[in-house]
Structure 1
Amino acid sequence: MATAKVGRVKLGSQGLEVSAQGLGCMGMSAFYGPPKPESDMIALIHHAIDSGITLLDTSDVYGPHTNEILLGKALKDGVRERVELATKFGIDYTDGKRDIRGDPAYVRAACEGSLKRLGVDCIDLYYQHRIDTKVPIEVTIGELKKLVEEGKVKYIGLSEASASTIRRAHAVHPISAVQLEWSLWSRDVEAEIIPTCRFQPENMEHNQRLYDRVNEIAAKKGCTPSQLALAWVHNQGDDVCPIPGTTKIENFNQNVGALSIKLTPEEMSELESIAKADSVKGDRYGGVLVTHDESETPPLSSWKP
């Protein structure tokens, strides 16, 4: 497949513009086996940028902290000016225990820590990684708004937030991006949010049948199933930017290749009929992490600083 041209998309109403596909950097440092060789990952990041991918996605919890440090090294020598840098806060592993935090003091401390590890003066897109259901979202966004006013953050985003939480947050300060898992295998977000580990052993046989049908369509299109699934996300609209993660240049090149796959309305419908929201079995995170379904926060009137 010929090298795909990477276009640009606008996110939100505040001027944020990013590459049509991003690079998820989590697996370079955490969760998928041991951390990968630093020099190889920096080479991958630079290859992505040279290919036209400018949105780099990380979080302070990846490692923790080591993924941000890796990106900081990759962004030296003028590379920083070529990218849109996104990172996240909100999952605290102090003393080895996981806690979700969105209180103002934590928000500010987390931002300062990320700025230092990344070696930058400003974060382009700063997400609340998970919603603290103990703190009114207006309080958390209020502190993020101050960071924007201070020039430490350009744009604010939310991750795994419900529709009502997004609306409440947006009333305090415009939300430029919402990060969720949205794919052929995870379509529950379509019911409400878009308009306003699926393969555990007990689910494998059922989901494998769905995958086989997707594989048949991919063969007809002359692409891989993963490229087809990624193309499906790209075809959802001009304000959608997938951020697939990888640790290998050959896989990255395949991901970018998905940009050149055009799907007809009939093909989109066929894919969606195969992987309907209620036909895929298994939870995304197996109950380990909260999702947008569990992100409601108390009313602002209840907050006592």
Structure 2
Amino acid sequence: MTAADIEVLRELTKFYSAREQQRGGAAGRYALSAHLKYEATPLLKSRFRDENIRRATYSAVGEMTYLAGWTAFDEGLHHLAQRYLTASVRMAAKAGDGPLAGHILRALAHQAVDLGHPRQALELASTSMGQQHYGQASHTEKALLGIVHARALAASGDRAGTLAAISRAERDLGRAGTDDTPDRVAFFSEASLAHETACAMRDLGNLRDAAAHFKRSAATRQQKAYTRTHSVTLGYLASVKVQQGHLDEAFETWTKALDAMTGVRSGRARDVIVRMQSDLSPFRRRGSRKAAELDLRATEILRAIR
């Protein structure tokens, strides 16, 4: 193993990560998994010329394993995602890479929030905020860990804790740019922070602030590079608009969400469409032509995503 071999692993992980951000977890997941199984993981059995190379190898393979877990999570394959993510935490520990381990614990916490396990989510997120994880991370990664901690607090019903965690994440992101940010958090920006803040506000029942943050997220995101996330943000915003009783805005936003989902292969995008059809159901039964048109288009896109 050489430093050049390790750099190849990191470049491949960066490529597959960008693909996932743009087209969803199902796009390229099989190729990533095959590369991980047959080429990357066997490198852990190499003879390392020194401790630095050994640690760097475990870190690089661990990060690729994390990405395999994250793509499975986005595709809705949660048991598979947990196996990959748990394995990647162990690799990060063997590498002595505290920030990477924290990053992965944050992903597990995010998954637990989505699956409706607030206690587990809070335990994982709180662990990620420890000194060896959050304390050693770049400012951008600190903001990511912090906002997922806020999500876990919101899922647990802790309003004061959620607001404090959001404020800390905002401060951390405001300090970014002055330190070395790893590629794995290059995606995390103002738009990402606004999206997760909106989710936390929604989970606390604050629909007005949730809508405002979802709007800011959609307005500030680089849509071409982060198509999958952008489509999900719009879907969440439309759902909030329905709950607020702003139906025209909801219909318009759903249309934009469906436009963005063309070519996306993602379980989270699929979940947005399923929720959309549920929200549309009462209006469709009342004879709304717009609701019927959206439902038909959603069905067509859902077939493609599946």
| TM-score when normalising by structure 2 | 0.30
Please state which structure has a larger fraction of its residues in helix: 2
| TM-score when normalising by structure 1 | 0.30
Please state which structure has a larger fraction of its residues in strand: 1
